[in-house]
Amino acid sequence: MKTSSIDAILQKRRIIITCGTGGVGKTTLSAALALRAACLGKNAAVITIDPAKRLATSLGLGELGDQPLDLTPQLRRAHLKLKKQGLDISTECKGTLAALMPDTRRTFEAFIHSLNPSPAVTDQILRNPIFQIFAREFSGSNEYMALERLYALNLQKRFDCIILDTPPSRNTLAFLDAPKLLTRFFEERLIRWLVLPTNKIVSMGMKKALGVLEKLTGSGFMTHLFDFASALFEVQVAFSSNLKKITELLESEEVGFLVVSAPISGAAPEISHFIESIENHGFHFDGVALNRTLGYLRKGRTDKRKKPNQLAFQILDALQDREAEVTRQLQGVVPAYFTTLPELARDVHSIEDLIHVATAFDSINR
């Protein structure tokens, strides 16, 4: 079924997850989407990962914004001001808008705490050097923590529209794979091997393999690893049940996925790959937003006039041609909602700027 507008999607879902590669303007778009929901009368929140400094500032997110910050007064003021200036927007902005930026490192520790009531085990995990690599660098922990945060926020029922801006991922939905990656470490059968390495039933092959591993890694590593694994084993049940709840939420009708891309060559196969991934996970794919487009600037072109900087216009032409080609390819492969959003002349500085962007949904290229 083809959904015709972004507003229909915002009405249908409680949660929209935006995903895409880096540099496509996903964070700005996510914030604009939450703002648009607020103008539809929703209590909207955007969970953002890594906003540009100016965007963070305009969302009231300074160094830390771990708790939802209410932006409704600023939104209403900006809305009123633009309305007075004659911008074609709704007469009133009835909903609310909040933004938050989870502190992933702190959340990870909080998450471990939440899994296990025993202070000894918590301490054992947090002090372990392998945990320290795990918490900071494990590719996937950021993504997983964002999901944890989404789940917790959704439970509160304070918001009826949450936009989750996910970390960029290049070719696969690393973000969707994050729960799976973590599960690997928590996989019961294998952790059992680690926890009970000297078990009588250990085969000769296993003894040999572990012997080689110890030789390769040197002393210390194996000890820390066994220690880490046995501590994780203690929280394994709690982790698995958390993961199950998150997965159920993501698979539910409440959650829709919006793929964000830019009109670059190779965008169409990349987007197809994202869509396939979303559907393979059993999630609901809602549509594609092609951001940073320039095609709409073709209207009212003054080709005859002599312009300075001819080369710049040549580049612009080539970019617009490429965009037209990408759009043509996409209309063939995207079975759902498709929209284009404009490339901006400068970064977003304020809530007013975000209103301009939010207004551009479904309005340019028409």
Partner 1 sequence: MSPVPSPSSVSSVLKRHLIFVSGKGGVGKTSVSQAIAHSLSIQGQRTLWVAFDDPLRPPGELRKLSPTLHYLNCEATIAFEEYSAMKIGAATLTRIFLQNKLVRYLAKATPGMHELFVLGKVWFERLNYDHVVVDMPSTGYGLAMFQSTKNFTRLFRGGPIHKDAEAMLETFANPTQTGFLIIAIPEEMPLQESLELNGFMLELFPKNPAAFLVNRRFPHSTESATPENSPESWENPIPTSAEDYVHKRVILEEYNLRLWRNAKIPIEEVAFILPTPQNQMIEGIASELKTRGHV
Judged by CB under 8 A, the chain residues 179 through 208 that form the site for partner 1 are: 181, 184-185, 187, 190, 193-194, 205-206, 208
How far is the C-alpha of 31 from the C-alpha of 28, rounded, in Å?
A: 5
Q: Can residue 130 be called a binding residue for partner 1 (CB under 8 A)? A: yes
Decide whether 4 or 172 has the Cβ nearer to partner 1.
172
Please pick, from the candidates 137, 200, 282, 332, the single residue that binds partner 1 as defined by CB under 8 A: 137
* Calculated CA dihedral for residues 63, 64, 70, 73, nearest 10 degrees: -10
Decide whether 40 or 196 has the Cβ nearer to partner 1.
196
Which helix (H) or strand (E) is 204 found in, with range?
helix 204-217
Q: Can residue 301 be called a binding residue for partner 1 (CB under 8 A)? A: yes
Residues 105, 92: contact at Cβ < 8 Å?
Answer: no
Instruction: State the binding string over 309-338 for partner 1 (x if CB under 8 A, else -).
Output: x-xxxxxx-xx--x----------------
Strand partners, 339: 289
How many residues are listed for the chain in this entry? 366
Q: Which amino acid is at 135?
A: A
Contacts of partner 1 in 46-105 (CB under 8 A): 52-54
Closest contact distance (angstroms) between CB of 198 and partner 1 is 13
Closest contact distance (angstroms) between CB of 194 and partner 1 is 7
Closest contact distance (angstroms) between CB of 231 and partner 1 is 14
Q: Is 305 exposed, middle or buried (0-12, 13-18, 19+ CB in 10 A)?
A: exposed
Q: Can residue 126 be called a binding residue for partner 1 (CB under 8 A)? A: no
Stretch that binds partner 1, among 91-99, 106-114, 210-218, 277-285 (CB under 8 A): 210-218
Q: Can residue 360 be called a binding residue for partner 1 (CB under 8 A)? A: yes
Question: DSSP assignment, residue 297?
Answer: G
Residues 278, 249: contact at Cβ < 8 Å?
Answer: no
Q: Which two tokens stand for residue 239?
A: 């982790």
Decide whether 256 or 342 has the Cβ nearer to partner 1.
342
Decide whether 25 or 95 has the Cβ nearer to partner 1.
25
Q: Can residue 209 be called a binding residue for partner 1 (CB under 8 A)? A: yes
Cα angle 56, 58, 64; round to 5: 35
Closest contact distance (angstroms) between CB of 132 and partner 1 is 8
Helix axes 104-115, 141-156, angle to 10 degrees: 70
Q: Can residue 218 be called a binding residue for partner 1 (CB under 8 A)? A: yes
Q: Is 322 exposed, middle or buried (0-12, 13-18, 19+ CB in 10 A)?
A: middle
Instruction: State the binding string over 18-57 for partner 1 (x if CB under 8 A, else -).
Output: ---xxxx---------------------------xxx---
* Calculated CA dihedral for residues 246, 249, 250, 254, nearest 10 degrees: -160
Stretch that binds partner 1, among 59-67, 101-109, 233-241, 308-316 (CB under 8 A): 308-316
